[in-house]
Amino acid sequence: MKFQTARRWLASAMLATSCAALVAPTSTHAQSDKLTRFILPVAAGSGVDTIMRASQKALSASLGTAVVIDNQPGAGGIVGTQTLVKAAPDGATLSVVSNNHVIYPSVYKTLPFDPIRDITPIAVIGGSPMVLVVNPKLPARDAKELVALLKAKPDTLNYASSGNGTILHLAAEMFLDEAGVKAKHIPYKGVGPMITDLIGGQVDFGVLALPAIQAHLKSGALRAIGTSSKTRLAAAPEIPTFAEQGLTGYQVEGWFAVIGPKGMAASEVKRIHGAFATAFATTEVKEAMARQGNTISVTSPEAATAFFAGELEKYARLVKKAGVKVD
């Protein structure tokens, strides 16, 4: 599947970065005058953003600094990550990234940085479940009905994503591939506007991380068709897996990891890794993650490095299989 507007979007998104300084970032206050800035290459309201805001207070305490969350979405995460890789490797500027970080190298022909060599992996923090949702007006309540509807109306229905080459784009394409159906892709500039139009009925369906849509599922603004996890979710046990609905090959899980610019000192990596391990072990954060359906398992920096390399290879194969590419 080709996307003719991707280059124009990438250029405009990078220009938008210059406006970031005009937006006051969210911060928590610690006793220290020092700041730790987390550049999130996603929009407010996304899964990673929701996770970071739930853990912000605990991270401020464990780091001993104020924690500033600076959302810089655009081009599947390229815009915010480009800001990160240019930062000083002193531990004051970090990022929390998702699957997107290892997907866009297989989608975009050129990148302004190397997603492996230009970062310092610190830890993979955990995973987030993903759910395919529809606008409630769509006459489909489960996977069988949605697939039947897509087959009855080929190329008529559409699906939303948070942008070309994102995990939400790829996850939807993988569903279509597994089901043997087609739908038109409508890329958005982040999760926020994507969800708004899903609720408004401008788009028919999409795949999202559970933390970003829990409130909308509970209110009835969106309807869950299934989760792409291996088993049902403790945080939403009423949502069936796609495997139990007959699509046994469709499994996708989101993950989130903390990284810094390349060249960070081992002592800084150890300090930040310890702070994340401490923060995500607090009762407050553990309860918040459980409510969101996230699983927490903080890896070592060495394991994170190996994980990134393995995920890069895995998603290169999945991108090729799904036919996702940008001109």
pLDDT digits (tens, 9 = 90+) for 214-244: 999 999 999 999 999 999 999 999 999 999 9
pLDDT at position 20 is: 40
Contact 128, 294 (CB under 8 A): yes
Class level of CATH domain 130-245 = alpha beta
CA–CA distances in Å: residue 69 to residues 15, 95, 120, 264, 285: 20, 9, 19, 20, 17
pLDDT at 32: 53
> Which residues neighbour 310 within 8 Å (Cβ) at sequence distance 6 or greater?
none
Q: What integer pLDDT is reported at residue 79 of this predicted model?
A: 93
Those residues whose C-beta lies under 8 Å from the C-beta of residue 213, and which sit 6 or more positions away, are 131, 133, 195, 222
Write down the pLDDT at residue 318.
87
Q: Where are the domains of the chain?
A: 6-127+254-322, 130-245
Q: How far is CA 261 from CA 11, 86, 120, 258, in A?
A: 23, 7, 6, 11
pLDDT bucket at 184, cuts 50 / 70 / 90? very high
pLDDT tens profile 37-82: 999 999 888 999 999 999 999 999 999 999 999 999 888 789 999 9
Residues 4-14, mean pLDDT to the nearest whole number:
45
pLDDT averaged over the chain? 90
Class assignment of domain 6-127+254-322?
Answer: alpha beta
Q: Is the pLDDT of residue 3 over 80?
A: no
Banded pLDDT at 327 (limits 50, 70, 90): low
Confidence tier at 6 by pLDDT (50, 70, 90): very low
Query: Which tokens is 135 given?
Result: 């606008």
Quick one: pLDDT band at residue 314, thresholds 50, 70, 90?
very high
User: From residue 115, how far is each of 95, 224, 277, 311 by CA, in Å?
Assistant: 13, 33, 24, 12
Q: Each residue of 249-266: pLDDT tens digit?
A: 999 999 999 999 999 999
* pLDDT tens, residue by residue, 263-283: 999 999 999 999 999 999 999
Q: Which of 162, 140, 147, 267 shows the shortest CA–CA distance to 212?
A: 162
Which whole number is the average pLDDT over 142-169? 94
Residue 31 confidence (pLDDT): 47
Specify the pTM.
0.84
Give the pLDDT confidence score for residue 10 in this predicted structure: 45
DSSP H helix total and E strand total for the chain: 11, 12
Give the confidence band of 140 by pLDDT, cuts at 50, 70, 90. very high
Rg (CA), the chain: 19
CA distances from 58 to 66, 95, 199, 203, 255 (A): 11, 16, 33, 37, 20
Q: State the Cα angle at 243 between 97 and 137, rounded to 5°.
A: 80
Residue 33 has pLDDT above 60, yes or no: yes
Residue 48: predicted pLDDT: 94
Distance CA 121, CA 280 (A): 17
What lies within 8 Å, CB to CB, of 269 at 6+ separation is 120, 122, 260, 301
| Rounded distance between C-alpha atoms, residue 38 and residue 36, angstroms | 6
